[in-house]
Amino acid sequence: MTDERYNVLGQLGSDTPLPNSPEEAELERVANPCDADYMIRFACPEFTSICPVTGAPDFAHLVIDYVPQDWIVESKSLKLFLGSFRNHGAFHEACTTMIGQRLVKELDPKWLRIGGYWYPRGGIPIDVFFATGEPPKGVWIPEQGVAPYRGRG
């Protein structure tokens, strides 16, 4: 027996191809099943995009934390959305903030932050952070746990 609340999900449980671009990717959401404030974390240690100047691949470890309000993101749709950046040309700053802003637009969370820990380009690692403000009081917000880049040191 299926739960009628989830019939709106078109990607979960189906063979869904990777979207051609982040703009084409559909983020699906479901009702927040909890009535207490809590934090959800997604880690994407193998995120990839394309440098818009050279066309070379860029790699990052993304950590997305959010405190939901009415909605939570369906994880397969998030995976497909993040995967759609593989052929997307944008600077680190644009990719990181675009992901955060899109999640805010779709979910309207009480709070969201994303840390983009980018591997070196031209010998310099670039870390990009986006947040919507202060997290709600009383919610445990752990550190993101991604060590600064140390190379071989």
Given 37, 51, 108, 127, which residue is catalytic?
A: 51
Helices (H), the chain: 75-83, 92-107
Catalytic residue among 15, 35, 37, 58: 58
- Is residue 34 part of the annotated active site? The answer reads no
**Type and span of the H or E element at 3:** none
| Residue 120 to residue 123: CA distance in whole angstroms | 5
Query: Which residues, including other chains, have CB under 8 Å from residue 52's CB and lie 6 or more apart?
Result: 89, 90, 91
95 part of the active site: no
Tell me how far apart the alpha carbons of residues 73 and 27 are, in angstroms, rounded to a whole number: 7
CA-CA distance, 37 to 98, in Å (whole number)? 25
Show which residues are catalytic: 51, 58
